[in-house]
Protein backbone atom coordinates (compact mmCIF):
# COMPACT_ATOMS: atom_id res chain seq x y z
CA UNK A 1 0.00 0.00 0.00
CA UNK A 2 1.01 3.59 -0.42
CA UNK A 3 1.73 5.41 2.81
CA UNK A 4 -1.10 7.87 2.15
CA UNK A 5 -4.28 7.33 4.18
CA UNK A 6 -2.96 4.22 5.92
CA UNK A 7 -4.38 3.61 9.37
CA UNK A 8 -3.29 0.97 11.89
CA UNK A 9 -6.14 -0.80 13.71
CA UNK A 10 -5.20 -3.60 16.12
CA UNK A 11 -2.03 -4.15 14.10
CA UNK A 12 -3.87 -4.39 10.77
CA UNK A 13 -3.01 -1.78 8.15
CA UNK A 14 -6.09 -0.36 6.46
CA UNK A 15 -6.40 1.88 3.44
CA UNK A 16 -9.30 3.26 1.44
CA UNK A 17 -9.22 1.86 -2.11
CA UNK A 18 -12.46 3.31 -3.46
CA UNK A 19 -15.45 5.25 -2.17
CA UNK A 20 -16.85 2.16 -0.43
CA UNK A 21 -13.87 -0.25 -0.29
CA UNK A 22 -11.20 -0.62 2.37
CA UNK A 23 -8.15 -2.86 2.05
CA UNK A 24 -7.11 -4.65 5.23
CA UNK A 25 -3.53 -5.93 5.41
CA UNK A 26 -3.08 -8.79 7.87
CA UNK A 27 0.45 -8.28 9.18
CA UNK A 28 1.90 -8.47 5.67
CA UNK A 29 0.45 -11.93 5.02
CA UNK A 30 -2.46 -11.06 2.75
CA UNK A 31 -4.97 -8.43 1.72
CA UNK A 32 -8.67 -8.53 2.47
CA UNK A 33 -11.30 -6.11 1.24
CA UNK A 34 -14.29 -4.71 3.10
CA UNK A 35 -16.95 -3.52 0.67
CA UNK A 36 -19.65 -1.31 2.17
CA UNK A 37 -23.16 -1.22 0.72
CA UNK A 38 -26.27 0.64 1.76
CA UNK A 39 -27.83 -2.47 3.32
CA UNK A 40 -24.94 -4.78 4.19
CA UNK A 41 -21.19 -5.21 3.86
CA UNK A 42 -19.14 -7.88 2.12
CA UNK A 43 -15.75 -8.97 3.44
CA UNK A 44 -13.64 -10.58 0.74
CA UNK A 45 -11.38 -13.13 2.45
CA UNK A 46 -10.55 -13.34 6.15
CA UNK A 47 -6.83 -14.01 6.21
CA UNK A 48 -5.03 -16.49 8.43
CA UNK A 49 -7.23 -15.80 11.43
CA UNK A 50 -4.39 -14.87 13.76
CA UNK A 51 -5.77 -11.51 14.88
CA UNK A 52 -9.15 -10.02 15.74
CA UNK A 53 -10.41 -9.18 12.27
CA UNK A 54 -14.02 -8.69 13.35
CA UNK A 55 -12.96 -5.85 15.64
CA UNK A 56 -11.34 -4.12 12.67
CA UNK A 57 -14.42 -4.57 10.49
CA UNK A 58 -16.63 -3.09 13.20
CA UNK A 59 -14.63 0.14 13.09
CA UNK A 60 -15.93 0.72 9.55
CA UNK A 61 -19.50 -0.54 9.71
CA UNK A 62 -22.34 -1.59 11.99
CA UNK A 63 -24.23 -3.20 9.10
CA UNK A 64 -24.54 -6.99 8.71
CA UNK A 65 -21.35 -8.46 7.24
CA UNK A 66 -20.99 -11.61 5.16
CA UNK A 67 -17.79 -13.19 3.87
CA UNK A 68 -16.89 -14.33 0.36
CA UNK A 69 -13.67 -16.33 0.06
CA UNK A 70 -11.78 -16.01 -3.22
CA UNK A 71 -10.29 -19.44 -2.52
CA UNK A 72 -9.69 -21.88 0.30
CA UNK A 73 -6.07 -21.37 1.30
CA UNK A 74 -5.21 -20.94 4.97
CA UNK A 75 -3.96 -17.39 4.45
CA UNK A 76 -7.34 -16.36 3.03
CA UNK A 77 -10.04 -18.32 4.87
CA UNK A 78 -8.93 -19.19 8.40
CA UNK A 79 -10.51 -16.05 9.85
CA UNK A 80 -13.96 -17.23 8.76
CA UNK A 81 -14.67 -18.50 12.27
CA UNK A 82 -15.41 -14.93 13.39
CA UNK A 83 -18.28 -14.51 10.92
CA UNK A 84 -21.54 -16.51 10.77
CA UNK A 85 -22.23 -16.17 7.02
CA UNK A 86 -19.41 -17.26 4.70
CA UNK A 87 -19.35 -18.32 1.04
CA UNK A 88 -16.81 -20.39 -0.88
CA UNK A 89 -16.71 -22.32 -4.13
CA UNK A 90 -17.38 -25.96 -3.26
CA UNK A 91 -14.33 -27.08 -5.26
CA UNK A 92 -12.10 -25.54 -2.59
CA UNK A 93 -13.81 -26.87 0.52
CA UNK A 94 -11.23 -29.65 0.87
CA UNK A 95 -8.56 -27.01 1.50
CA UNK A 96 -10.12 -26.03 4.83
CA UNK A 97 -11.34 -29.48 5.87
CA UNK A 98 -10.05 -31.16 9.07
CA UNK A 99 -8.47 -33.82 6.87
CA UNK A 100 -6.37 -31.20 5.09
CA UNK A 101 -5.76 -28.56 7.76
CA UNK A 102 -4.22 -30.81 10.37
CA UNK A 103 -2.44 -29.59 13.50
CA UNK A 104 0.87 -30.44 11.82
CA UNK A 105 0.05 -28.49 8.67
CA UNK A 106 -1.16 -25.48 10.69
CA UNK A 107 2.02 -25.52 12.79
CA UNK A 108 4.11 -25.68 9.63
CA UNK A 109 2.17 -22.76 8.12
CA UNK A 110 2.73 -20.65 11.25
CA UNK A 111 6.44 -21.44 11.42
CA UNK A 112 6.97 -20.50 7.77
CA UNK A 113 4.87 -17.35 8.08
CA UNK A 114 6.88 -15.83 10.92
CA UNK A 115 10.11 -16.41 8.96
CA UNK A 116 8.90 -14.38 5.98
CA UNK A 117 10.65 -10.99 5.71
CA UNK A 118 7.35 -9.15 5.22
CA UNK A 119 5.70 -10.55 8.37
CA UNK A 120 5.15 -8.02 11.15
CA UNK A 121 2.53 -9.71 13.31
CA UNK A 122 2.38 -11.50 16.65
CA UNK A 123 4.33 -14.58 17.68
CA UNK A 124 2.50 -17.62 16.28
CA UNK A 125 4.21 -20.23 18.42
CA UNK A 126 0.98 -21.06 20.22
CA UNK A 127 -1.54 -19.87 17.63
CA UNK A 128 -4.81 -21.77 17.87
CA UNK A 129 -6.13 -23.79 14.95
CA UNK A 130 -9.76 -22.73 14.45
CA UNK A 131 -11.38 -24.19 11.36
CA UNK A 132 -14.10 -22.19 9.60
CA UNK A 133 -17.73 -22.94 10.26
CA UNK A 134 -20.01 -24.52 7.67
CA UNK A 135 -19.80 -22.55 4.43
CA UNK A 136 -22.41 -21.67 1.85
CA UNK A 137 -21.62 -22.56 -1.78
CA UNK A 138 -20.92 -19.97 -4.45
CA UNK A 139 -20.29 -20.40 -8.17
CA UNK A 140 -19.81 -18.41 -11.33
CA UNK A 141 -22.80 -16.24 -12.19
CA UNK A 142 -23.92 -15.74 -8.59
CA UNK A 143 -24.43 -12.11 -7.58
CA UNK A 144 -24.21 -10.36 -4.24
CA UNK A 145 -26.35 -7.25 -3.80
CA UNK A 146 -25.11 -5.01 -0.98
CA UNK A 147 -27.57 -2.22 -1.65
CA UNK A 148 -26.28 0.21 -4.25
CA UNK A 149 -23.40 -2.10 -5.17
CA UNK A 150 -23.59 -5.50 -6.87
CA UNK A 151 -20.80 -8.03 -7.34
CA UNK A 152 -20.81 -10.91 -9.79
CA UNK A 153 -18.83 -14.11 -9.19
CA UNK A 154 -16.52 -15.26 -11.99
CA UNK A 155 -14.67 -18.57 -11.73
CA UNK A 156 -10.91 -18.49 -12.36
CA UNK A 157 -9.52 -21.97 -11.57
CA UNK A 158 -5.77 -22.40 -11.64
CA UNK A 159 -4.20 -21.33 -8.36
CA UNK A 160 -6.86 -23.57 -6.79
CA UNK A 161 -9.76 -25.51 -8.37
CA UNK A 162 -12.35 -23.18 -6.84
CA UNK A 163 -10.69 -19.79 -7.23
CA UNK A 164 -13.07 -16.93 -7.98
CA UNK A 165 -12.96 -13.19 -8.60
CA UNK A 166 -15.67 -10.61 -7.87
CA UNK A 167 -16.72 -8.01 -10.44
CA UNK A 168 -18.51 -4.71 -9.84
CA UNK A 169 -19.04 -3.71 -13.45
CA UNK A 170 -20.92 -0.50 -12.61
CA UNK A 171 -17.97 0.86 -10.64
CA UNK A 172 -15.41 -0.96 -12.80
CA UNK A 173 -13.65 -2.85 -10.00
CA UNK A 174 -12.41 -6.45 -9.95
CA UNK A 175 -11.46 -8.05 -6.63
CA UNK A 176 -9.10 -10.81 -7.71
CA UNK A 177 -7.78 -12.75 -4.71
CA UNK A 178 -4.75 -14.77 -5.80
CA UNK A 179 -5.94 -15.19 -9.38
CA UNK A 180 -4.25 -11.91 -10.33
CA UNK A 181 -1.41 -10.68 -8.13
CA UNK A 182 1.76 -8.74 -8.89
CA UNK A 183 3.86 -11.56 -7.46
CA UNK A 184 4.12 -14.90 -9.31
CA UNK A 185 0.88 -16.83 -9.81
CA UNK A 186 1.41 -20.23 -8.17
CA UNK A 187 0.15 -23.23 -10.16
CA UNK A 188 2.42 -26.09 -9.16
CA UNK A 189 1.07 -27.78 -6.06
CA UNK A 190 -1.36 -30.60 -5.31
CA UNK A 191 -4.13 -28.05 -4.75
CA UNK A 192 -3.58 -26.28 -8.09
CA UNK A 193 -5.16 -27.16 -11.42
CA UNK A 194 -3.17 -26.39 -14.60
CA UNK A 195 -1.80 -23.49 -16.58
CA UNK A 196 -4.13 -24.55 -19.39
CA UNK A 197 -7.20 -24.20 -17.18
CA UNK A 198 -5.92 -20.93 -15.71
CA UNK A 199 -5.43 -19.57 -19.24
CA UNK A 200 -9.03 -20.40 -20.13
CA UNK A 201 -10.26 -18.51 -17.08
CA UNK A 202 -8.14 -15.49 -17.97
CA UNK A 203 -9.59 -15.45 -21.48
CA UNK A 204 -13.08 -15.36 -19.99
CA UNK A 205 -12.00 -12.39 -17.89
CA UNK A 206 -10.63 -10.76 -21.01
CA UNK A 207 -14.10 -10.98 -22.55
CA UNK A 208 -15.29 -8.73 -19.70
CA UNK A 209 -12.35 -6.31 -19.79
CA UNK A 210 -14.55 -3.38 -20.77
CA UNK A 211 -16.29 -3.77 -17.39
CA UNK A 212 -13.34 -3.06 -15.08
CA UNK A 213 -10.31 -0.82 -14.82
CA UNK A 214 -9.04 -1.45 -11.29
CA UNK A 215 -7.86 -4.87 -10.08
CA UNK A 216 -7.54 -5.39 -6.33
CA UNK A 217 -5.13 -8.29 -5.63
CA UNK A 218 -4.98 -10.68 -2.69
CA UNK A 219 -1.38 -9.85 -1.79
CA UNK A 220 1.13 -7.08 -1.70
CA UNK A 221 0.58 -3.43 -1.85
CA UNK A 222 -1.31 -1.59 -4.49
CA UNK A 223 -4.01 -2.09 -7.12
CA UNK A 224 -3.11 -3.53 -10.51
CA UNK A 225 -3.94 -2.17 -13.97
CA UNK A 226 -5.42 -4.21 -16.80
CA UNK A 227 -2.14 -4.36 -18.71
CA UNK A 228 -1.02 -6.90 -16.12
CA UNK A 229 -3.90 -9.17 -17.16
CA UNK A 230 -2.67 -8.99 -20.76
CA UNK A 231 0.84 -9.99 -19.65
CA UNK A 232 -0.52 -12.91 -17.61
CA UNK A 233 -2.46 -14.21 -20.59
CA UNK A 234 0.61 -13.98 -22.82
CA UNK A 235 2.76 -15.65 -20.16
CA UNK A 236 0.34 -18.57 -19.91
CA UNK A 237 0.18 -18.88 -23.71
CA UNK A 238 3.96 -19.05 -23.94
CA UNK A 239 4.10 -21.72 -21.23
CA UNK A 240 1.56 -23.75 -23.20
CA UNK A 241 3.43 -23.45 -26.51
CA UNK A 242 6.86 -23.97 -24.92
CA UNK A 243 8.36 -20.59 -25.82
CA UNK A 244 8.25 -18.86 -22.44
CA UNK A 245 11.34 -17.32 -20.90
CA UNK A 246 11.84 -19.33 -17.72
CA UNK A 247 14.10 -20.22 -14.84
CA UNK A 248 14.20 -22.87 -12.11
CA UNK A 249 13.16 -21.46 -8.73
CA UNK A 250 13.32 -22.86 -5.22
CA UNK A 251 9.84 -23.49 -3.84
CA UNK A 252 10.86 -26.55 -1.84
CA UNK A 253 9.08 -25.08 1.19
CA UNK A 254 5.80 -25.52 -0.70
CA UNK A 255 6.31 -28.51 -2.99
CA UNK A 256 8.66 -31.43 -3.51
CA UNK A 257 8.38 -30.96 -7.29
CA UNK A 258 10.82 -28.83 -9.28
CA UNK A 259 9.32 -25.37 -9.78
CA UNK A 260 9.69 -23.29 -12.94
CA UNK A 261 8.99 -19.58 -13.20
CA UNK A 262 7.72 -18.46 -16.58
CA UNK A 263 7.95 -14.74 -17.31
CA UNK A 264 6.43 -12.31 -19.76
CA UNK A 265 6.39 -8.53 -19.39
CA UNK A 266 5.56 -7.75 -15.77
CA UNK A 267 3.83 -11.07 -15.14
CA UNK A 268 5.11 -14.45 -14.00
CA UNK A 269 3.67 -17.88 -13.28
CA UNK A 270 5.34 -20.57 -11.17
CA UNK A 271 4.44 -24.05 -12.41
CA UNK A 272 5.87 -27.52 -12.98
CA UNK A 273 5.61 -30.06 -15.76
CA UNK A 274 2.67 -31.84 -14.10
CA UNK A 275 0.58 -28.68 -14.00
CA UNK A 276 0.81 -27.38 -17.56
CA UNK A 277 -1.88 -29.28 -19.46
CA UNK A 278 -5.19 -30.82 -18.47
CA UNK A 279 -5.14 -34.61 -18.52
* pTM, to two decimals: 0.96
pLDDT tens by residue, 119-131? 999 888 888 899 8
Average pLDDT, rounded, for the chain = 94
**Third-level CATH fold of 6-233:** Metallo-beta-lactamase; Chain A (3.60.15)
* pLDDT for res 221: 65
* pLDDT for res 64: 98
pLDDT tens by residue, 31-69? 999 999 999 999 999 999 999 999 999 999 999 999 999
In 3D space, the residue among 217, 171, 173, 214 whose CA is nearest the CA of residue 71 turns out to be 217
Q: What is the mean pLDDT of residues 16-30?
A: 95
Q: What is the mean pLDDT of residues 233-245?
A: 99
Range list of β-strands (E), 150-232: 150-155, 164-168, 173-177, 185-187, 214-217
Burial pattern 221-240, b for ≥16 Cβ within 10 A else e, equals eebbebebbbbbbbbbbbbb
pLDDT tens by residue, 140-167? 999 999 999 999 999 999 999 999 999 9
**What is the sign, positive or negative, of the torsion defined by CA atoms of 206, 208, 210, 216?**
negative
pLDDT band at residue 1 under the 50/70/90 scheme = very low
Give CA–CA dist 201/262, Å, rounded. 18
* pLDDT for res 231: 98
Give CA–CA dist 176/44, Å, rounded. 10
Q: Where are the domains of the chain?
A: 6-233
Instruction: List, edge to edge, every strand of the sheet that includes 267-271.
Output: 185-187, 267-271, 259-264, 245-249
Burial pattern 72-110, b for ≥16 Cβ within 10 A else e, equals bbbbbbbbbbbbeebbbbebbbebbeeeebeeeebeebb
CB atoms within 10 A of CB 120: 12
Q: What is the mean pLDDT of residues 110-115?
A: 88
- C-alpha distance across the termini of the chain, in Å: 40
Give CA–CA dist 67/69, Å, rounded. 6
* pLDDT for res 126: 80
Amino acid sequence: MDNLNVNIINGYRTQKMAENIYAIDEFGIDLMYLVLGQDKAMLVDTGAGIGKLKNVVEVFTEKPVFVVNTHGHMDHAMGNYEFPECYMNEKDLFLISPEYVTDERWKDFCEKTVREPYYDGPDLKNANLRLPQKLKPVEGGNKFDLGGYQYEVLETPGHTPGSIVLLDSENRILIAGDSIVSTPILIFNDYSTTVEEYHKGLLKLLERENEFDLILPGHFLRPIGKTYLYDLIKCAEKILDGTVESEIVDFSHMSSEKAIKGMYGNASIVYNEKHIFNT
